[in-house]
Amino acid sequence: MEEKLLSYINAINEMPKVGNELINILLQQKVNESKDILILVFAKKATRLIEALCLLIEEDYIQEAQILARTLLETKFAFDYVVQNKKNYDEVFQNFIDSLMLDKLKQIKVTNYEICPDKDVKESYLKTEEDIKSRYSTENLKQLRRFGFTGRSIRDLADSTGNMRLYNLAYRFYSRNIHVADANESLTQFLETKQDSEEYNESQFKMICEVICVAGQSVLQEINKWCGSPIDFKPL
């Protein structure tokens, strides 16, 4: 096995442990400021994704792992945005909460309030929506509804956070795996020689290991800095 690939695999296997250690450190600290809460949210999200990816890869579910790797990339892009805007943490946190509430309200409305039959609760949600609307311009509210708390498409988010290589290398490629068209990849394997198929599978394994390692370690390293660098990260 190539030395670089082996270093990726070793790093990935250590990440869940590191992530959970950082989560425990964050929980022991006072998580009462907006920025602390956001950091904890991303620490939990990234760690659980990496844990799930380790299980899928261990069982050789590479195509299925690519779906979660795509989510891990989105997590990295969004987290990088938070770090990039650390001087405006309170505003970013408000946007984060408002986007979550708008998404919840959308879910309630599409069911014609079936999942929220209580009149008082319904009125409370409607008031919350009006409060959110009052905080944004028409255009900013539109972006918040469409793209979430960053107000940017995934491509624009990747570009603004310096992640275009990962976006072009893996995000667009992995996006197809969430659709039924992904079956095409399995069908084409019947038309390939055994050698071609093995080489292709090996290349996909190498790519996903690099993606998980680069994205996962980037997020955990930044969270480690936030905690005062209690963990000594080994360079790849």
The one-digit pLDDT tens for each residue of the chain (236 residues) are 688 889 999 999 999 999 999 999 998 876 666 668 889 999 999 999 999 999 999 999 998 999 999 999 999 999 999 999 988 988 999 999 999 999 988 888 888 777 776 777 778 888 899 999 999 999 999 999 999 999 999 999 999 999 999 999 888 888 877 766 555 555 555 555 555 667 878 888 999 999 999 999 999 999 999 888 999 877 66
- Is 64 a domain residue? yes
Contact assessment for residue 150 and residue 78, using Cβ atoms and an 8 Å cutoff: yes
Tell me which residue range forms the domain holding 68: 3-88+152-226
Instruction: Look at residue 180 in the predicted model and tell me its pLDDT.
Output: 63
Q: What is the spatial distance between Cα 131 and Cα 123, in angstroms, rounded to a whole number?
A: 12
Contact assessment for residue 20 and residue 47, using Cβ atoms and an 8 Å cutoff: yes
Count: domains in the chain: 1
- Is 47 a domain residue? yes
- Is 129 a domain residue? no
Contact assessment for residue 37 and residue 31, using Cβ atoms and an 8 Å cutoff: yes
Question: Buried b vs exposed e over 8-30: b needs ≥16 C-beta within 10 Å?
Answer: bbebbeebbebbebbbebbeeee
Rounded to two decimals, what is the model's pTM? 0.88
Instruction: Look at residue 21 in the predicted model and tell me its pLDDT.
Output: 95
- Is 136 a domain residue? no
- Is 33 a domain residue? yes
- Is 195 a domain residue? yes
Q: Which residue, among 78, 83, 72, has the nearest Cα to 217 in the 3D structure?
A: 72
Question: Buried b vs exposed e over 105-134: b needs ≥16 C-beta within 10 Å?
Answer: beebeeeeeeebeeeeeeeebeeebeebee
Contact assessment for residue 56 and residue 68, using Cβ atoms and an 8 Å cutoff: yes
- Is 146 a domain residue? no
- Is 139 a domain residue? no
